[in-house]
Structure 1
C-alpha cells in the first residue's frame, strides 16, 4: 500500500497508460513527462498496471475518460441533454451518442431519466461529455437509459469494490433472488428487483458493506441478511 499527498510523484508506467482520478501528467524540467498526485489517498492500479488512480474517501466525483457513470437528466439543450453525474459541473450528452441514433431516430429522454453512460471527454477546463455506446464497437453494450429500478448512492470506494467481479455482495444477493444492477464509478448504484422488499434489502446491504458505513465483511453480511425479510 502506498499513500501519497497532493504534488507527490507517482511511479506510474505502462505502454498504454491510463490515468484515473487523482493523477495528473505534467512535463518535468528535463522535458520527460511525470505523474503527480492531485489529491491525498492510496495509489491503486489494475492487474496489468495500465490503469492507475488514487483511492480516497472523497464523495465528490472527478470525471475521468472511459469511466462508466450513472447520471440524471436535468435539462434539454437543443439536441443535447444536460446530465448530473455528481461532479462539480454538469455533463453534456449529444443526442446522437447512442447506438443507431440518427437525427430522425433518437432517444426520447425526459428530465429525471436515469442513464448508464461512459465519460468520453474529461478536462479540468471543460464540461465533461458523455456517450451511451462502446466507442470501439459503436454498440450499446449495456449503456443507455435505465428504466424502472431504484438509485442508491454510496462512497466512491464502494463503487470500485462492487466493480470487482470477485466481490461477494452481488453474487450473494443474486443467489437469493433475481437482481439487475448497474454500477457507476461516480458513487451511484442502480438496482432493479421484482419486489420492493428485495430492493430495500439490497440498498441496506450496500450501505452495510460500504467502508464509509458499516464496513461489513461477507460473514457479517450473511448474518445481517438473516434479519431481513427476503
Structure 2
C-alpha cells in the first residue's frame, strides 16, 4: 500500500498547489478568513471547509481573491456571468434553444438583444452562432443567455456574422488566451487581421480576410495551448515570415 501523502500548511499555502478530488483546502484559506473571497470551478464549500472536487492546479486571482482549479478539461459546466459561444438548435415559442456544450441547452429570449421589441424582433435562425453572456446558471435550472449588458448595449454580443469559422478547444486554452499575461492574440493580430470571439465554454470563432488566413490563425491558436510565451513569439515570428513570403510570391 502506498504511503499517504504528507502535506503541511506551508505547502498548501504555496502557489501552483496540485490537488486531487476530495482534498481539504481549508488551510489555504486561513489567511483570508474575515475577508471576502470567491470560489470558482473545481472548489466546493462544505460548512466551514473548502474541498476540491476535481484534480488540477489551484489558482488565485487578485485583488478579488478568486480561487479556482485549473486543469485540462473539455466538458463545460455553465457559470453565471461567463461569455459563451453557442449554436441555435431550436425554437420554442418566443425562446430559442442554444447549444453551449453543457448538459442541457440554454434558453435565449428574442427580447435579450439590443433594441429588440415585440415588433422589432431579431433575425435569428437555427444554425446561427450566438455570442452571449450567461444570466442564469445553476444545477436546478436551465442556463439562460442574454446578448446585451445591464445597460441594454450589445457590447460585441449577438449573432456572429457570416463567413466565420467556429472550432472546439479545451477550456484551459481559452483561459490562457484571455489571460493578461498571454500575448498570443495581440501578436497574431499584428501578422494578419482576424476577427475573434472566445467563449469560456471552449469554443473560438474566427473570421479572416481569406479562408487560408482563417485556417492559419486556427492552427496557430490550437498549437499554442502548451507553449510558453517565448515559444509563442517564435511561432508567430515564423508565421509572419511565411505569410510575407506567400504574399511576395503572389505579387
TM range (shorter): 0.7 to 0.9
- How far residue 21 of structure 1 moved from its aligned partner, in angstroms, is 2.0
> Is the counterpart of residue 65 in structure 1 residue 68 in structure 2?
no
> Is the counterpart of residue 122 in structure 1 residue 137 in structure 2?
yes
CA RMSD of aligned residues (A): 2.3
> Is the counterpart of residue 145 in structure 1 residue 162 in structure 2?
no
Matched residue, 1:25: 45
TM-score (normalizing by structure 2): 0.79
* Contact map agreement 1:154 1:210 (CA 8 A) in 2: no
The 1:25–1:130 alpha-carbon spacing in structure 2 relative to 1, beyond 3 Å, is farther
- How far residue 6 of structure 1 moved from its aligned partner, in angstroms, is 2.0
1:19-168 matches, within 5 Å, as 19-26=39-46, 28=47, 32=48, 34-135=49-150, 137-148=151-162, 149-168=164-183
Which structure is higher in helix share?
2
- How far residue 160 of structure 1 moved from its aligned partner, in angstroms, is 0.4
- How far residue 15 of structure 1 moved from its aligned partner, in angstroms, is 5.6
Deviations 1:15-39 (A, max 9, x none): 664433222333x1xxx4x433221
Aligned length: 222
SS in 2 for 1:175: helix
**Structure 2 unaligned residues grouped into runs of 5+:** 1-15
Runs of 4+ that moved beyond 6 A = none
Q: Distance in 2 between matches of 1:142 and 1:9?
A: 40
* Contact map agreement 2:82 2:133 (CA 8 A) in 1: yes
SS in 2 for 1:203: helix
Q: Distance in 1 between matches of 2:107 and 2:71?
A: 26
